[in-house]
């Protein structure tokens, strides 16, 4: 299961990461911005697109924006990356089995 929190959106959650909204009980997403571990960059921002559970544990599927170069990362706040990589991560690798 994805972690839930009742904190307001302008308050930091534990580990000092921005507020993460959760999957609803019906399984639909509600603006789920999270961070995932990266060997190259420590933490990278992502968007939660789904979750699953099997015999090996709980998993989250996230979409990570990708950019052609560093200049493409710069944004005026109105544009987003048009490319993304979808990955599935094991929640056992995260504190409290939840994505920050």
Is the pLDDT confidence value at 6 over 50?
no
Segments making up each domain of the chain, as ranges: 14-73+80-97
φ and ψ at 8, to 5 degrees? -65, 155
In the predicted model, what is the mean pLDDT of residues 22-38?
Answer: 64
Q: What is the pLDDT of residue 92?
A: 93
Whole-prediction pTM value? Answer: 0.60
pLDDT category, 81, cuts 50, 70, 90? low
In the predicted model, what is the mean pLDDT of residues 87-94?
Answer: 93
For 37, half-sphere exposure in the C-beta direction (CA atoms, 13 angstrom radius) is 12
Q: Which is nearest to 61 in space by CA: 83, 34, 82?
A: 34
CA distance 80 to 67: 10
Q: How far is CA 99 from CA 30, 52, 65, 82, 94, in A?
A: 15, 14, 17, 23, 6
In the predicted model, what is the mean pLDDT of residues 69-90?
Answer: 76
């Amino acid at each position: 299961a994805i972690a839930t929190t009742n904190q307001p959106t302008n308050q930091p959650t534990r580990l000092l990461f921005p507020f993460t909204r959760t999957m609803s009980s019906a399984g639909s997403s509600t603006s789920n911005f999270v961070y995932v571990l990266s060997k190259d960059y420590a933490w990278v921002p992502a968007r939660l697109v789904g979750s699953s559970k099997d015999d090996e544990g709980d998993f989250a599927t996230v979409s990570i924006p990708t950019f052609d170069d560093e200049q493409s990362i710069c944004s005026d706040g109105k544009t987003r990356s048009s490319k993304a990589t979808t990955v599935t991560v094991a929640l056992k690798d995260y504190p409290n089995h939840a994505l920050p």
